[in-house]
Chain A
Amino acid sequence: MPPGGAPARLEVAIKEKAYGERAALGSLSFILEPGEVGAVVGPSGCGKTTLLRLVAGLDTDFRGRIAAGGAGLAVVFQEPRLLPWRSVEDNVRLVAPNADRLELAVLLARLGLEDHARDFPSTLSLGLARRVAIARALAVKPALLLLDEPFASLDGATAQRLADTLVPIFEAKAATTLLVSHDLVAAARLGDHALVLSERPGRLVKAVGFPQPRPARTPEIIARYIAELSAPQPPQGA
């Protein structure tokens, strides 16, 4: 396992990203300080997942610059991308071969997976499979953590429980996190900032800060944050 290093400082300065003739992302710049959670929101198809792939280094064909100091990257993909032929525990162990048993057990328990360590992914619901993907990502103690629509296709209650699980994990500020989601409630509950993108090609139209610590965010505060997100505003610097 890579040493649990300090969280990264993520600096994104994209000028343009295009697939052939079709522009996918416009001008888009922001900085996440170490340990911060940036929630990227915007209409579907605006390039959120493209942004995540660029930050992950899976696509290097764009104009601009992305820099993340610190070592260790982990991604929670929208489809969990688990190995169907390995148990939950072995899926996590795959990326962290040196993790000891106790450490692994604690991690699985944190995500509510303690009863599923020996299950194969095909027997899990999507909600549980996402949790396994999150456990796998946390197992590498990343400096930079990317989550792509972790709440997509989950029913309301399941999404809520997953968000509850993520609150203390994000509050520990062990990793700088980029959370891509079209779900404003999740952004307002979990983000330190929200970055609002425009319609395709996605440009940054607004950056909103959520100063209240996550556990202290009451439904009223969250509603106010959402209202701030939805209000039409001229663009500001991030």
Chain B
Amino acid sequence: MIARLASLGLLLLLWWAAAHIANPRLLPGPLDVLALAGRETASGALPKALAATLARVAASFLLAMAGGTALGYAMGRRRAFDSLADPWLVILLNLPALVIIVLAYIWAGLNEGAAIAAVALNKLPNAVVTAREGARALDASLDEMATVFRIPALRRWRHIVLPQLAPYLAAATRSGLSLIWKIVLVVELLGRPNGVGFEIGVAFQLFDVARLLAYALPFAALMLVAETFLVQPLEAHAARWRPRAA
């Protein structure tokens, strides 16, 4: 924890020093950004934008993870399905995010559904690949055990399959949240009337770097807090059965 705080402090110090040397219009100092973020928070504009963006991140993340896990699991378990779906997966993996977003807006219109679907579709192949790896690594001997004891599908999934997939899903979550947040901003910039991405578009038009940072950094801070107080304790709990490394 102390190492974490020290490392953050060092980053702030570097920023502060760089701001002293650079033109303040191009790189405002941390205090100026903090002051602006405070004003925007007091006016309610920042929390509103953050909430809109977070809602989009949550919706597309859940969609992508649920769909990706189900598809990846099916592909990892059924060879025939895997060889059928794999080419599609490779195409989707290599389709640029921007292409998917623009196509979604053109085909479905500039609406919330198109925005969320476009983001989810960008994350989906990634989740599929990771879940497929996990499904391929499932222990066949535990499957046999579950078959012999006739453990019903839901219990089997929860107690036998999910704990084996957990490290893979955790990896997909980590890389997924940051990826999705970045794509949500693009989606908002291109076709939404609110959210952090929209505000950054405004800041770009005004060439207002302080405003840009004041809107972008709170999300990073939020993720850091979530990582420290939510993800890491959860992981420690999920790994409590593992023998400690000597």
Contacts and interface: CB of A to CB of B under 8 A. Distances in A.
Interface of A: 56-58, 73-75, 77, 79, 81, 83-86, 94-95, 97, 120-123, 136, 140
B149 A74 contact: yes
Interface of B: prevailing SS? helix
B241 A94 contact: no
B99 interface: no
Interface of B: 141-142, 144-145, 147-151, 155, 159-160, 163, 238, 240-243
Given A94-B159, A122-B241, A81 B149 contact: no
Given A58-B144, A77-B145, A79-B141, A86 B151 contact: no
Nearest to A121: B241
A140 B149 contact: yes
B151 A95 contact: yes
A77 B143 CA distance: 12
Contacts of B243: 122-123
13 contacts: A58-B148, A74-B149, A75-B145, A75-B148, A77-B141, A77-B145, A83-B142, A85-B163, A85-B241, A94-B159, A95-B149, A95-B151, A122-B241
Given A57-B148, A75-B148, A77-B145, 14 more contacts: A56-B148, A73-B148, A73-B150, A74-B149, A75-B149, A77-B141, A77-B144, A81-B145, A83-B163, A85-B163, A86-B241, A94-B155, A97-B155, A123-B243
Nearest to A140: B149
Contact of B151 (A94, A121, A122): A94
Contacts of A74: 148-149
Contacts of A136: 149
A84 B238 CA distance: 12
A129 to B, nearest CB: 13
Contacts of A79: 141
A229 B148 CA distance: 31
B169 to A, nearest CB: 14
Contacts of B148: 56-58, 73-75
Nearest to A133: B145
Listed from nearest, the 9 A-B pairs whose CB atoms lie closest are A120-B241, A95-B149, A85-B163, A85-B241, A81-B145, A75-B148, A122-B243, A81-B141, A94-B159
